[in-house]
Amino acid sequence: MSLVTVKFGGTSMGNHDAIAQVGRIITDLRAQGHRILTVVSAMAGVTDQLRQAARSAATGDDLTHVDIVNALRARHYETVEQLASDDKIKKATLEELDMLLGNLNTMCHSIAVLREVTPRGMDLIMSFGERLSARVLAAHLRDRGFASLAIDASELIVTDTNFQDAAPIFEETNRRVQEFLVPYLESGSLPIVTGYIGATRDGIITTLGRGASDFSAAILGAAINTDDLWIYTDVDGILTTDPRIVPTARVIPALSYGEVGELAYFGAKVLHPKTIQPVIDKNVPVRVRNTFNATHPGTLIQPQAEITAGAIKAITVIRDVSLVSVEGQGMVGVPGIAGRTFMASARAGVSVLLISQSSSEQSFCFIVPQGSTTTVLDAVRRELRYELERRDVDRVWAREDVVILTTVGAGMRGTPGVAARVCGALSARGINILVIAQGSSEYSISLVIQSDEANEAVRALHELI
């Protein structure tokens, strides 16, 4: 018998058929004798609807949120109707949902009166999706004769007060999990815990950031010392690249923690980037699997990397970025210009995705999200105004028509010639490389190219896998 933590995303919770399938996965595991901790997302689309309810209310509109809440009620009621046949269970669940939805409406009304929504208010509103979906699944399992209870993670995950993107405080979280969740699991019941949410020490609800239910599952899984963590989604696993660009993209059988970190950082959307962080110290194997193709093994993410022959395992593209360059003959040997440039960007609240400097020191460049181009240019020009006046720096400028293309694979460490193969594949197609950067982990090589050549470049590199 082992302890398995399973997480189901929004599509897996999307309607009654999907939730019935989730129920089967859980009860099959149970029949194999495992203890199971389940973490769920809101039904697909619900979190966006909640945000819209709050936003519209914040403009003083006291009607739109009523429509949204009614739509949410109809959808959740319908799902319960389909998933619970026992009248008592059905009635109790609908009452519970109704109470939550009533609260939600009242809160939106308060926002409409105040015409303002704070990040803290936003978190409260956006927490309702998971609180609703967890109750629906628990009711379904009870209806099928299992002991199951929906638990709000606000009782378990203690966070800081950084609303909308709160960070867990692990020590206190672990203590609460040991105290409240572990005994329940040990009793053989099936707890269904909400993803995405936590609460401050004072019990004020927070959210861990969009898509963070994966992260919640990892936090809770690590806290119960889970043997396995399975992230169920609607694709077979992590793919070699975006199948819309390369139809022959395939599931990667195994990746290391390091490789997945690099992939998540460079834009692969399957797993929330923070998911691995809580399980690293405990060496928990993580699997990404498909709810709707439950026999597929998915992608296994483990502490160590398996080196594959081609060295490259995956290719990602980050679009909507700009390449900012700082150029000048007079920069040679002048310390601090790069440092001040990055400090200026950081002070402007912009995070830099990639940095490259030519060894001649006559220029360096970096990538920022396209939406922050003007902010960064203004901040850097202000910071370097004397150097610009003295012509030590000739110009600070940006190109917006670029993408970052990243190849990921641990085998690139110490394998000579991978960069050459990558660059060769692109030049064979006449694709010009503007910037090259290798991560110091040597798990990835990133290239900046013109955006209209992105898809062709991905296809060319995919042939190298």
Residues that bind ligand ASP (CB under 6 A): 9-10, 41-42, 47, 129, 195-196, 210-213
Distance CA 81, CA 305 (A): 46
Find the length of the chain: 465
Nearest approach, Cβ of residue 112 and ligand ASP (Å): 23
Nearest approach, Cβ of residue 47 and ligand ASP (Å): 3
- Closer residue to ligand ASP (CB): 210 or 421: 210
Nearest approach, Cβ of residue 81 and ligand ASP (Å): 23
Q: Report the residue from 211, 261, 273, 439 that binds Mg ion according to the rule CB under 5 A.
A: 211
Partner from Mg ion, ligand ASP, none contacting 196, C-beta within 5 to 8 A by type: ligand ASP
221 touches Mg ion (CB under 5 A): no
Stretch touching Mg ion by CB under 5 A, among 124-132, 173-181, 208-216, 366-374: 208-216
Q: Which of 78, 18, 28, 5 is nearest to 290 (CA)?
A: 18
Partner from ligand ASP, Mg ion, none contacting 176, C-beta within 5 to 8 A by type: none
Partner from Mg ion, ligand ASP, none contacting 42, C-beta within 5 to 8 A by type: ligand ASP
Q: Which of 454, 450, 10 is nearest to 242 (CA)?
A: 454
- Closer residue to ligand ASP (CB): 195 or 328: 195
Partner from Mg ion, ligand ASP, none contacting 129, C-beta within 5 to 8 A by type: ligand ASP
Q: Report the residue from 6, 9, 212, 372 that binds Mg ion according to the rule CB under 5 A.
A: 9
> Could you tell me the end-to-end alpha-carbon distance of the chain, in angstroms, rounded to an integer?
38
- Closer residue to ligand ASP (CB): 104 or 212: 212
Q: What letter represents residue 199's amino acid?
A: A
Locate 455 and state its tokens.
């898809």
Distance CA 89, CA 331 (A): 72
- Closer residue to ligand ASP (CB): 47 or 316: 47
Residue of closest CB approach to ligand ASP: 213
β strands within 257-295, DSSP E: 286-290
Nearest approach, Cβ of residue 153 and ligand ASP (Å): 11
Q: What share of the chain is helix, strand, coil (3-state, %, to 5)?
A: 45, 20, 35
Q: How many helices (H) and strands (E) does the chain have?
A: 15, 16
Stretch touching Mg ion by CB under 5 A, among 8-16, 19-27, 285-293, 334-342: 8-16
Partner from ligand ASP, Mg ion, none contacting 265, C-beta within 5 to 8 A by type: none
Q: Render 131-197 in DSSP notation, one character per residue.
A: HHHHHHHHHHHHHTT--EEEE-GGGT-BB-S-TTS--B-HHHHHHHIIIIIHHHHHTT-EEEEESSE
Dihedral angle sign, alpha carbons of residues 81, 84, 86, 92: negative
